[in-house]
Amino acid sequence: MSKTASKLLFVVVMALCAGCASRYDVIAAMHRGGYDEVLENTENINDFPERDRTLILNYRAQAKLGLGYHLSARDDFLRSWNIMNTGAGGGHAAAYVIAEDNKYYMGDPYERVFNSYYLGLLYYMLNAPEDAMASFTNALFADTGDFKLNEYAADFVPAMVMRTRVYLDRGAKLDAQDQLKALNALPKNERNFDPACPWFNIDDQLNTNTLFFVELGDGPFMTAEGRHGQTRVIHPSRYPEAYAEIYVDGKTLGRTYKVADSFFQAVTRGGRAMDEVLKGKAIAKDVTTVVGAVGVGVGVSMMENGDSTAGAITAGVGALVLLAGLLLNPEADVRSNVLLPGEVHLMQAQLPPGPHDVELRVFDKDGRELRRMRQEGLDLNVPQKGDAVMLLRSQPRYKIPLQEADRLADPYARHKTIR
Amino acid sequence: MIKNRLFLLMTAIALLMTVAACGSESTRVDPKDDEEDPIQSSGPYSSDLLEVTDVIMAQFKAERVSEDFRDQYKDAPIIAVIRPLNDTRFPNITKIFEERLISGLMKKTTRRELRFVNRESDTLDAVAAEKAMKESGEVTDRSGRRTKYGADFFLKAKFTALSMTDGDHSSDTINYSFELIDPETTEIVFKGDHLIKRVSEKDALYR
């Protein structure tokens, strides 16, 4: 091999390695410093490879939400919403030929559902009910595989509950009833939601003004399995939380009810078109690697036996096929938003307008309280008109903004001031 | 020699594939021209919003709402734009639509023809606070006016959509409807709509 070819080989290897640069480990960042660490790490989105930026935006939005910067979180969820729902993606050729994770992250359907759901909640909490309505509608759209065949019909209950609330905010009681009818027509599958949830009727919806969405546990994660890692497997996370109980001003409102399960959402929308491509790539990788190696071997033998021209051609073609086989990476893309919760629980109540003191207690499946997850002294302000919405998480716990200014603050300006 | 040539060819292909994924640029495009937009979405484009607000403004003129009102009351009618209802799956279009509609109508008419009142809750809160300060003498009050203008007409818009997907394609048919309502009698003075359908295809990578 000439010196020029060797140099070029080095450049190619470096370029390909650059394409395989290590991913941002958000779980490690959360262990190191929680949402503050993620917020700091992700300040400059342009520091990350283009193909990962939408995922990073979702991480940053989640961190801002967790720290109580609702307006800024909404902006990031909206930025990523635009890419996940109206973008065409990118890195297609490299994803097909080299590795799937060269494509721009756009999220699986369940990740798009959660993105729209958070965006809708934040719009609703920031007094933009019509934008909230559109976001919740899109959450259901993203959860729907094929309208024509009525396949994978949307079954994400939190979006249905919130669409009901927006209809009531408009004064459209009949539309709210229609939405509840659709909710009550869902299969009563306890893996998806608790059918015993008592607020799925118009009377209770009309007679409540406060919604608590309590997130429990961690969401699913993905691994690449199989000989070449070509099979993407979605795993549920294990967590002890089973339900929560909410106290307001020292009195219990009762237990929460599960309205969404992110693992169920992740695995109940059929297979991916990409899975077939990856299977084909895995087979092609085996074949090209073997054929290429044999070609090189035969070519070298031919040259050793005096047939130098034919031997060189055979060896060259063999090397080409071998290189193609080595470059072909059938490994499945396992990037996912691992900051999502395992479950979403709901509590609705009618509370007098004004300030209230909220306490969250979390329990395991045997009814034992998980004491370290108890959250006390949470401030809730119920408005004279409209709903109060409180978003809580067992762990890592969400900060509740103390004042409107905190909710609207620029997190980076504030963090720099603190430093 | 052959080995080197083959190797150089492979090198060039691999480099091209790697470089193809890099780089970004920003280009200013005409908001009225869909064809220039590299985004191939089935959702509303800026050109759609411009088109719809132009349709509403044209109907406003055609219905001679201002002329008829002025003939009867010798003053321009006061319009309040009610929050548009967004039943599509696309957030963030309500505000831009509302802003564009009001500014478009104000650009194409004079205060002698049409007048507008702001009914946004944050504006009303600020107005109430200002009035209270004037009442208390904390700030000056040059005109002595106290009464807010009532609306002679409500302009109401609603966006509804039929959104469908078969996994490969998404289609969104959005109906932009609008009506002018007499708030005293609830009479619909005029009503119109404008339908726009868009279809987009998803790459198999993202199905």
| pLDDT tens track for B36-74 | 565 667 777 778 888 888 888 888 889 999 999 999 999
Q: What is the pLDDT of residue B102?
A: 87
Instruction: Report yes or no on B72 lying in a domain.
Output: yes
Q: In which domain, by residue range, is B116 found?
A: 41-138+147-201
Burial A373-384 (b: 16+ CB within 10 A, else e): bbbeebebebee
- Read off the amino acid at residue A48: F
- From B139's Cα to the closest Cα of chain A, the distance in A is 26
In this structure, what DSSP letter does residue B206 have? G
Burial B68-98 (b: 16+ CB within 10 A, else e): ebbeeeeebbebbbbbbbbbbbbbbbbeebb
Question: Which tokens belong to A31?
Answer: 């262990």
CB A96 to CB B89 under 8 A?
no
In this structure, the strands spanning B115-117 and B78-81 are: parallel
First to last CA, chain A: 56
Q: What is the pLDDT of residue B147?
A: 87
In chain A, % of residues over pLDDT 90:
64
H or E segment at A48?
none
Nearest to B59 by CA among B155, B152, B187: B155
User: For residue A5, is pLDDT > 70?
Assistant: no
Q: Give the strands of the sheet with A354-363, arranged side by side.
A: A251-255, A243-248, A354-363, A375-382
pTM: 0.83
Q: What is the pLDDT of residue B92?
A: 80
Q: Would the CA dihedral through A187, A188, A194, A196 be positive or negative?
A: positive
Instruction: Report yes or no on B29 lying in a domain.
Output: no
Instruction: Report yes or no on B33 lying in a domain.
Output: no
Q: Tokens 């958000």 identify what position?
A: A26
Return residues 285-324 of A near B (CB < 8 Å).
312-313, 315-317, 319-320, 323-324
Helices B93-108/B46-62 angle, 10° precision? 40
Q: What is the pLDDT of residue A125?
A: 96
Of A123, A132, A313, the CB nearest to B2: A313
Residues 6+ apart with CB under 8 A from A119: A74, A77, A78, A81, A135, B91
Q: What is the pLDDT of residue B8?
A: 56
The answer to whether residue A376 neighbours chain B at the CB level (below 8 Å) is no
Instruction: For residues A120 and A126, give the distance between their C-alpha atoms in angstroms, rounded to a whole number.
Output: 10
Residue of chain B with shortest Cα separation from A9: B11
- The tens digit of pLDDT for each residue in A347-387 reads 999 999 999 999 999 999 999 999 999 999 999 999 999 99
Which CATH number does the domain A28-275+332-418 belong to among 1.10.287.110, 1.25.40.10, 3.40.50.300, 1.10.3720.10?
Answer: 1.25.40.10
Return residues 229-288 of A near B (CB < 8 Å).
272-274, 277
pLDDT band for A130, please (50, 70, 90 cuts): very high
Count CB-CB contacts under 10 A for residue A369.
13
Question: Which tokens belong to A328?
Answer: 């072909």
Instruction: For residues B68 and A173, give the distance between their C-alpha atoms in angstroms, rounded to a whole number.
Output: 36
Report how many domains make up chain B.
1
Residues 6+ apart with CB under 8 A from A336: A108, A111, A220, A221, A222
CB A134 to CB B40 under 8 A?
no
User: For residue B13, is pLDDT > 60?
Assistant: no
| B22-to-A21, A49, A102 alpha-carbon distances in Å | 14, 9, 11
With the CA atoms of A147, A151, A153 and A156 taken in that order, what torsion angle do they form, in degrees rounded to the nearest 10?
-120
Instruction: Report yes or no on B22 lying in a domain.
Output: no
Query: Which stretch, A93-107, A317-331, B123-137, has highest mean pLDDT?
Result: B123-137
CB B204 to CB A81 under 8 A?
no
User: For residue A121, is pLDDT > 90?
Assistant: yes
In chain B, % of residues over pLDDT 70:
78
CA angle B102, B106, B111 (to 5 degrees): 130
User: For residue B23, is pLDDT > 50?
Assistant: no
Give the CATH number of the domain where residue B129 resides: 3.40.50
pLDDT band for A288, please (50, 70, 90 cuts): confident
Question: Which tokens belong to B157?
Answer: 């818009």
In this structure, the strands spanning A221-225 and A231-235 are: antiparallel
Residues of chain A with Cβ-Cβ distance to B205 below 8 Å are 89, 92, 95-96, 100, 103, 273-274
CB A92 to CB B203 under 8 A?
yes
Of B3, B19, B207, the CB nearest to A312: B3
CB B204 to CB A146 under 8 A?
no
In chain B, % of residues over pLDDT 90:
39
> Domain segments of chain A: what residues?
28-275+332-418
Residue A213, classed as helix, strand or coil, is strand
Residues of chain A with Cβ-Cβ distance to B43 below 8 Å are 85-86
- From B43's Cα to the closest Cα of chain A, the distance in A is 7
